[in-house]
């Protein structure tokens, strides 16, 4: 085949044909000076993939170990004999524990006290709020709760509260009606219910029941119209837990959690009741003056903050939330919903976004999904980076350091290390059963030309050729590999790391947009070969087979 080549410029992969056209017009019209400035800027290369996919890693990885050592030093130096005598922390990656560190002493007033370990019990305070939320999602997944957006009234007949800020009810709005902005289950689990932090004139030890709570709420007011404003509420979690347990499961909240979550995940040292046996396993929590704090039992607020746990058990919970534990708890789709931010909060709130039941901030572009708990004598943080399948728990007996955020500091070491480990991991790609139908020469509208070959492992390799290929572009980036997914379907894999944007003369092409796209080959013809393929994600159709390598004239 002879191809008359009259196209201006270079065409790298499919996308560039579009990009190039724009660039030429642009370049033509811009004064020369500005073009040069733009080129200089583009010279700073970002490497991609920006968010590498989690892949199984081969340990040891030096940079990862270095990051974990920094976390070790950080936590070790945070122990304080008076205010923070014991810390246990654990880092998980998908389905395995990466690191576990225990610092200080379990009982500072006992000179012979041992160091804590991963089975040392700490109160987890507000991390308890994860459990009513898991209950909500489990009941929803099982179809026992119709919708996460069901209003609370559907499950609590006697629930009323004044909503003076609600627009739809007008000035006479006394109670929430079906038409006013709903106080939904999801909003209760994400600090968006508008419910007050506590019931009127109660503290966390209040021992009333849910009926008494509903009575108190009847003449209380919502602090914000539901769904409009992040406002931290312990009431919301206790109501959610108790009402769902009574109305939907017919049992009590603590038994339900015990049977359906703790036992299922083998969280043997996690629970609500601080029995003498549990107290023997505990690190002694202290106030900032070093005095041991009493082990208060919360009353009606137990679902919002009563629980205790260990680093080992929290690791199991994190693996379940990251989907690395075989989806024993919730399906992946449900987990995705649970770990996604619900709304951005106003600037005076203590987190940028809330989720169910999380506070969410970004670090290096990743969502860090987190819950903190602080209660007399104890502090705890659980923080996940779902996109990297990474989890960290820090359990503290004592007072959380005020001058630095330990979890955030730990992640500033860990996220780059894990990200680079994924980026540098050698990917093994799957070969098709029989490569013959895919091998050969292809063209997209006689503009770009490709040869598909087989490498020594039987994996398909696609290389661009023809006059449009700029020899300044390293051949590494002109060659892509195709990962076999299913019959006639492959996924483009660039060798990582690669520049996000590739500069070709004065144009730039986004390799990032092309990485991981799908190729869907056409059904095989009478000769047993595929006559071409589409790449719907690149909006590119009919890349067709040609008989042989064309030669080009200009
Ligand atoms: C995560 O763990 C699951 C379950 O053990 C496993 O199937 C999956 O391959 C792991 N993923 C990574 C990226 O290691
Ligand atoms: C801690 O040690 C002190 C001094 O030995 C002892 O009196 C106290 O009972 C211990 N506390 C716990 C919870 O074991
Ligand atoms: C709801 O309120 C009515 C009347 O005040 C009362 O008779 C009933 O017991 C209450 N129901 C519940 C579940 O609290
Ligand atoms: C925990 O203690 C409460 C009373 O405070 C009791 O009703 C409940 O049965 C106990 N739960 C377990 C699992 O022992
Ligand atoms: C919220 O986001 C901004 C910008 O992304 C960041 O500077 C700030 O620290 C975040 N707030 C918190 C509480 O992390
Ligand atoms: C490509 O070029 C060949 C040879 O010049 C011609 O036969 C063919 O129709 C062209 N195909 C397309 C899609 O333009």
pLDDT digits (tens, 9 = 90+) for 372-396: 999 999 999 999 999 999 999 999 9
Mean pLDDT of all residues in 486-504: 88
Please tell me if the CB atom of residue 273 comes closer than 6 angstroms to any atom of ligand 4. Answer: yes
- 144 touches 152 (CB < 8 A): no
Is residue 143 pLDDT above 70, yes or no? yes
Atom of ligand 5 minimally distant from the CA of 350: 13
pLDDT at 165 over 90: no
State the ligand closest to the CA atom of 418.
1
Residue among 131, 251, 252, 254 whose CB has most ligand 4 atoms within 8 A, to mutate = 254
Going by CA atoms, what residue is nearest to atom 9 of ligand 1?
Answer: 56
Strands 551-553 and 2-4: parallel
Q: Is 544 exposed, middle or buried (0-12, 13-18, 19+ CB in 10 A)?
A: middle
Kindly report the backbone phi and psi dihedral angles of residue 137, in degrees, each rounded to the nearest multiple of 5, phi listed first: -65, -40
CB of 381 within 6 A of ligand 2: the answer is no
Parallel, antiparallel or unpaired: strands 378-385 and 366-375? antiparallel
Contact 80, 271 (CB under 8 A): no
| Ligand 3 atom with least separation from CA of 156 | 13
Report which DSSP code applies to 462: E
Going from the Cα of 4 to the center of ligand 6, the distance in angstroms, rounded, reads 9
Q: 115-124, 244-253, 401-410, 507-516 — which is least confidently predicted? A: 507-516
CATH architecture assignment, domain 436-546 = Beta Barrel (2.40)
Report DSSP letters for 217-247, one per residue.
HHT-B-SS-TTSS----HHHHHHHHHHHIII
Q: Which residues pair with 373 in a beta bridge?
A: 380
List ligand 3's pocket residues with C-beta within 6 A. 157-158, 211
pLDDT of 195: 95
**Which ligand has the shortest distance to the CA of 86?**
2
Under the banding of pLDDT at 50, 70 and 90, the label for residue 92 is: very high
Helices (H), 339-462: 406-424
Ligand lying nearest the CA atom of residue 397: 2
Q: Domain residues of the chain, as ranges?
A: 2-43, 64-423, 436-546
CATH class in words for 64-423: alpha beta
Does ligand 2 lie within 6 Å of residue 525's CB atom? Answer: no
Smallest CA-to-CA distance from 228 within 339, 369, 346 is with 346
Residue 435 Cα, ligand 1 centroid: separation in angstroms?
28
Q: Using a 6 Å cutoff on CB, does residue 352 contact ligand 5?
A: yes
- Residue 361 Cβ contacting ligand 5 at under 6 Å: yes
354 lines ligand 5 (CB under 6 A): no
Atom of ligand 3 nearest to the CA of 158: 1
Q: How confident is the model at residue 33 (pLDDT cuts 50, 70, 90)?
A: very low
Q: CA quadruple 444, 450, 454, 456: dihedral positive or negative?
A: negative
Question: pLDDT at position 473, please?
Answer: 73
Torsion of CA 121, 125, 129, 131, to 10 degrees: 20
């Amino acid at each position: 085949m002879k191809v008359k080549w009259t196209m201006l410029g270079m065409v790298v992969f499919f996308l560039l044909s579009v990009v190039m056209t724009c660039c030429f017009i642009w370049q033509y019209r811009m004064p020369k000076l500005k073009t040069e400035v733009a080129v200089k800027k583009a010279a700073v290369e970002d490497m991609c993939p920006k968010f590498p996919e989690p892949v199984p890693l081969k340990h040891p990885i030096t940079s990862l170990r270095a990051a974990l050592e920094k976390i070790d030093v950080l936590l070790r130096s945070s122990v304080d004999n008076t205010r923070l005598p014991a810390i246990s922390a654990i880092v998980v990656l998908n389905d395995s524990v990466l690191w576990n560190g225990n610092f200080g002493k379990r009982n500072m007033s006992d000179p012979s006290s041992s160091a804590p370990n991963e089975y040392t019990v700490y109160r987890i305070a507000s991390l308890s709020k994860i459990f009513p939320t898991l209950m909500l999602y489990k009941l929803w997944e099982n179809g026992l709760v119709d919708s996460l957006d069901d209003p609370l009234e559907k499950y609590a007949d006697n629930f009323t509260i004044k909503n003076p800020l609600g627009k739809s009810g007008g000035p006479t709005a006394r109670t929430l009606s079906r038409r006013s902005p709903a106080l939904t289950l999801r909003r209760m689990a994400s600090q968006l219910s508008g419910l007050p932090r506590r019931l009127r004139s109660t503290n966390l030890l209040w021992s009333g029941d849910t009926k008494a709570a509903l009575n108190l709420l009847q003449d209380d007011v919502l602090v914000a119209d539901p769904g409009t404003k992040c406002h931290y509420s312990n009431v919301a979690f206790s109501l959610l837990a108790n009402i769902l347990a009574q109305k939907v499961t017919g049992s009590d909240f603590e038994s339900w959690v015990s049977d359906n979550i703790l036992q299922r995940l083998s969280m043997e040292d996690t629970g609500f009741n601080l029995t003498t046996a549990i107290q023997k396993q505990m690190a002694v929590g202290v106030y900032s003056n070093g005095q041991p704090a009493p082990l208060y039992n919360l009353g009606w607020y137990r679902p919002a903050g009563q629980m205790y746990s260990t680093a080992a058990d929290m690791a199991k919970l994190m693996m379940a939330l990251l989907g690395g534990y075989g989806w024993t708890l919730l399906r992946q789709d449900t987990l995705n919903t649970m770990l996604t931010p619900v709304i951005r909060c106003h600037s005076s709130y203590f987190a940028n976004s809330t989720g169910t039941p999380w506070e969410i901030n970004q670090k290096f572009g990743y969502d860090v999904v987190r819950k903190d708990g602080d209660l007399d004598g104890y502090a705890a943080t659980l923080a996940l980076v779902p996109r990297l399948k990474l989890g960290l728990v820090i359990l503290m007996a004592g007072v959380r350091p005020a001058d630095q955020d330990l979890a955030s500091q730990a992640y500033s070491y860990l996220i780059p290390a894990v990200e680079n480990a994924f980026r540098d991991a050698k990917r093994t790609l799957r070969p098709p059963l029989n490569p013959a139908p895919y091998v050969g020469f292809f063209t997209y509208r006689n503009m770009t030309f490709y040869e598909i070959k087989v490498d020594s492992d039987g994996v398909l390799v696609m290389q661009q050729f023809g006059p449009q290929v700029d020899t300044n572009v390293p051949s590494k980036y002109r060659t892509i590999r195709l990962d076999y997914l299913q019959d006639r379907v492959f996924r483009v894999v660039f060798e990582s790391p690669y520049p996000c944007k590739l500069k070709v003369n004065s144009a730039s092409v986004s390799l990032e947009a092309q990485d991981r796209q799908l190729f869907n080959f056409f059904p095989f013809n009478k000769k047993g070969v595929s006559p071409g393929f589409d790449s719907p994600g690149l909006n590119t159709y009919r890349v067709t087979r040609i008989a042989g390598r064309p030669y080009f004239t200009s």
